[in-house]
Amino acid sequence: MEVDAGRVQRAVVATCLVVLAATAAVLFVAGIEKNDQIALLQRQGVAVEVTVSGCLGLMGGSGSNLAGYECKGTFTLNGRSYNDAIPGSAFYSPGTTLRAVTVPADPTLLSTPRAMATEQSSWRVFILPTAMVAILGLLLGAAVLKRRNIRRSSA
């Protein structure tokens, strides 16, 4: 069975370009969602008291050292109880009460006042995906020019 090396090369390049485009698209969407969440919390956020229900230790890369904690807590909003992850990686003893901010339309969106004070919507979340799209454009342009040159030389 013979393998056409040129065809394999084109398939690998095409796959890489598709992966690059998909990754850039995912990063654009993630940046938009992050900025929207920050703006929503700042405009429509309401204060709630979160009672820590428990924390789990997060292990580092090799699994031999502690990297932080993931804590969960409960809070009540408009007469309904919610159990959600508490932002950050600090340890809180069960039963500890914390101040937090949530959005009535989306109570799963929870933040601490400290995090809210330091977060703001930013254009910087779009730097990497924009660079990826630029690289994609350059690679596509190079591929088109190479293909044109091959066609011209064979004609």
The residue segments making up the domain with residue 143 are 1-44+122-155
**Residues 50, 91 share a domain:** yes
Q: 64 pLDDT exceeds 80?
A: no
Residues 151, 131: one domain? yes
Query: Is residue 152 located within the same domain as residue 137?
Result: yes
Residues in the chain: 155
With a cut of 90, say whether residue 84 has pLDDT above it.
yes
Torsion of CA 120, 123, 124, 130, to 10 degrees: 150
Q: With bands split at pLDDT 50, 70 and 90, how would you rate the model's confidence at 151?
A: confident
Residue 129 sits in the same domain as residue 148 = yes
Query: Mean pLDDT over all residues of the chain?
Result: 92
CATH of the domain at 90: 2.40.50
pLDDT > 70? residue 155? no
pLDDT tens-digit map of 15-53: 999 999 999 999 999 999 999 999 999 999 999 999 999
Q: How far is CA 149 from the centre of its chain?
A: 40
Asked if residue 111 and residue 63 are part of one domain, the reply reads: yes
**Residues 90-99, mean pLDDT to the nearest whole number:** 96
* Domain count across the chain: 2
How far is Cα 27 from Cα 9, in angstroms, rounded to an integer? 27
71 contacts 96 by C-beta, under 8 angstroms: no
Residues 115 and 68 grouped into a single domain: yes
pTM comes to: 0.76
| Statement to judge: residues 63 and 129 lie in one domain | no
129 and 87 assigned to the same domain: no
7/72 same-domain check:
no
